[in-house]
């Protein structure tokens, strides 16, 4: 058995039967030709930033280390870039800014790899991956074909995609094509960005790099470094509830925040709900809710995946009991 402790950001002490590094699509094809995908229990792992192992994985881990960047097309206002799926997401953001490309600066410091980004439809500060996504290339482990999936085929939703449903566990994403801008226009209307920019002495019009630096500062303040304190970032999705339900809750607690999704729905910050239930900063054995951000569950050093999972279930139950709202995990549970 091989330890996975340093290959996922919760750093739970779990193992797998074996580990295979994928450094090119050729290796994936070789595995298919050898009958690997039809005979072995396997799991693809990139940065390990969105998984919680509940126990040892009795199979083989495929470690995605496919690297590469290729500019496919460029004009005065935009650029189409192909990124290999093993590229670290934050490195992609920094590289893009260095090239003068913008559009993903609001997604700075999100952990994980390029290959995980479309699965999760990562998002932050008013921007989601789907906003710049064009298509991806993936290896179908059942047919052995390399297929191209459009934005429409990926069926992106809030922290959701086709890869969490009908294509779950079937596709190995090889590369992703993003259409980035070259206009230097950036979105600062969400969250604490403007306040942080002002505190740093920046003035409008803001540069994409300034916005990226501000968001990095915000995230580093709010979120613990997984190399210091094991975590997977936001553990739960922000729930979207009927506007009528939100209005009733607001009568009881006028401070409840909400963001209008459409005429009939409102998004409520899960972190606020969890904090109101008394979990922020609470430690339970070897795990707990982080002192600065209730939405982040942490491993204080020796927590098992099942221990963290138990706390998550308790939080879900308390939020449902107090607010009548069901919250769902962003993190994927692996058994």
**3-class SS at 193?**
helix
Q: How far apart are the first and last CA of the chain?
A: 15
- Predicted pLDDT at 255: 95
Of the residues 85, 234, 289, 304, only one is catalytic, namely: 234
Residue 335 has pLDDT above 90, yes or no: no
Domain-by-domain residue ranges, the chain?
Answer: 2-64, 69-181, 230-334
Q: What is the mean pLDDT of residues 51-78?
A: 97
Which residue in 326, 6, 173 sits closest to 164, CA to CA?
173
Query: What does the pLDDT look like over 233-265, one tens digit per residue?
Result: 999 999 999 999 999 999 999 999 999 999 999
Work out the mean pLDDT of the chain and round it to a whole number: 96
Contact 237, 327 (CB under 8 A): yes
Residue 225 has pLDDT above 80, yes or no: yes
- Predicted pLDDT at 187: 86
Give the domain 230-334 fold: 3.90.78
Rounded Cα distance, 301 and 312, in Å: 17
Query: What does the pLDDT look like over 141-188, one tens digit per residue?
Result: 999 999 999 999 999 999 999 999 999 999 999 999 999 999 999 988
**φ, ψ (nearest 5 deg) of residue 172:** -110, 110
Rounded Cα distance, 84 and 259, in Å: 35
**3-class SS at 90?**
helix
Burial class (CB in 10 A: 0-12, 13-18, 19+), 59: middle
- Predicted pLDDT at 192: 87
* Residue 318 pLDDT grade (very low, low, confident, very high; cuts 50, 70, 90): very high
Of the residues 87, 105, 128, 330, only one is catalytic, namely: 330
**φ, ψ (nearest 5 deg) of residue 220:** -65, -30
Cα dihedral sign, 137-141-145-147: negative
Give the domain 2-64 fold: 3.30.43
Q: Is 236 left (phi over 0), alpha (psi -120 to 50) or beta?
A: beta
Give the domain 69-181 fold: 3.30.465
- Predicted pLDDT at 85: 98
Contact 92, 70 (CB under 8 A): no
- H or E stretch including 152? helix 151-154
- Predicted pLDDT at 36: 98
- Predicted pLDDT at 238: 95
Contact 177, 82 (CB under 8 A): yes
Of the residues 82, 137, 159, 181, only one is catalytic, namely: 159
Which residues in 251-276 are b (16+ Cβ under 10 Å) and which e?
eeeeebebeeeeeebbbbbbbbbbbb
Q: Could you give the residue ranges of the DSSP H alpha helices within 78-224?
A: 89-98, 116-120, 151-154, 193-199, 208-222
Which residue in 273, 267, 301 sits closest to 285, CA to CA?
301
Residue 191 has pLDDT above 80, yes or no: no
DSSP one-letter code for 145: -
Q: Is the model more confident about 126 or about 52?
A: 52
Contact 115, 137 (CB under 8 A): no
Rounded Cα distance, 310 and 159, in Å: 22
Indicate whether this model's pTM tops 0.75: yes
Active site residue 137: no
- Predicted pLDDT at 294: 96
Query: What does the pLDDT look like over 279-307, one tens digit per residue?
Result: 999 999 999 999 999 999 999 999 999 99
Q: Please report, for residues 108, 129, 213, the alpha-carbon distance to residue 156 in angstroms, rounded to integers and kept in the order given.
A: 20, 9, 28
- Predicted pLDDT at 203: 86
């Amino acid at each position: 058995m091989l330890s996975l402790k340093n290959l996922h950001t919760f750093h739970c002490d779990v193992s797998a039967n074996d580990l295979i590094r994928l450094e090119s699509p050729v290796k994936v094809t070789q595995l298919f030709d050898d009958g690997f995908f039809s005979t072995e229990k396997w799991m693809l792992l990139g940065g390990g930033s969105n998984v919680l192992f509940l126990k040892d994985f009795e199979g083989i881990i495929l470690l995605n280390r496919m690297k590469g960047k290729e500019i496919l097309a460029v004009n005065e206002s935009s650029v189409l870039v192909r990124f290999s799926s093993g590229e670290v997401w934050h490195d992609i953001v920094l590289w893009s800014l260095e090239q003068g490309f913008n559009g993903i600066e609001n997604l700075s410091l999100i952990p994980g790899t390029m290959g995980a980004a479309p699965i999760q439809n990562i998002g932050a500060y008013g921007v989601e991956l789907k906003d710049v996504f064009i298509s991806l290339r993936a290896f179908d482990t059942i047919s052995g074909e390399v297929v191209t999936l459009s934005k429409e085929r990926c069926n992106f939703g809030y922290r959701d995609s086709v890869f969490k449903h009908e294509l779950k566990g079937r596709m190995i994403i090889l590369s992703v094509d993003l259409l980035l801008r070259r206009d230097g226009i950036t979105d600062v209307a969400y969250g604490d960005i403007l306040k942080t920019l002002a505190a740093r002495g920046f003035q409008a019009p803001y540069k994409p790099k300034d916005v990226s630096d501000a968001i990095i500062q915000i995230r580093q303040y709010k979120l613990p470094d997984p190399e210091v304190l094991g975590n997977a970032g936001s553990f739960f999705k922000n729930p979207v509830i009927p506007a009528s339900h939100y209005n009733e809750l607001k009568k009881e607690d006028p401070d409840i925040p909400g963001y209008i999704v459409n005429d009939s729905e409102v998004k409520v910050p899960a972190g606020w709900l969890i904090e109101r239930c008394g979990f922020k900063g609470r430690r339970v054995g070897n795990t707990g809710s982080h002192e600065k951000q209730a939405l982040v569950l942490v491993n204080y050093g020796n927590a098992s995946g099942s221990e963290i999972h138990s706390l998550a279930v308790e939080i879900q139950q308390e939020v449902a009991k107090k607010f009548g709202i069901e919250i769902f995990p962003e993190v994927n549970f692996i058994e």
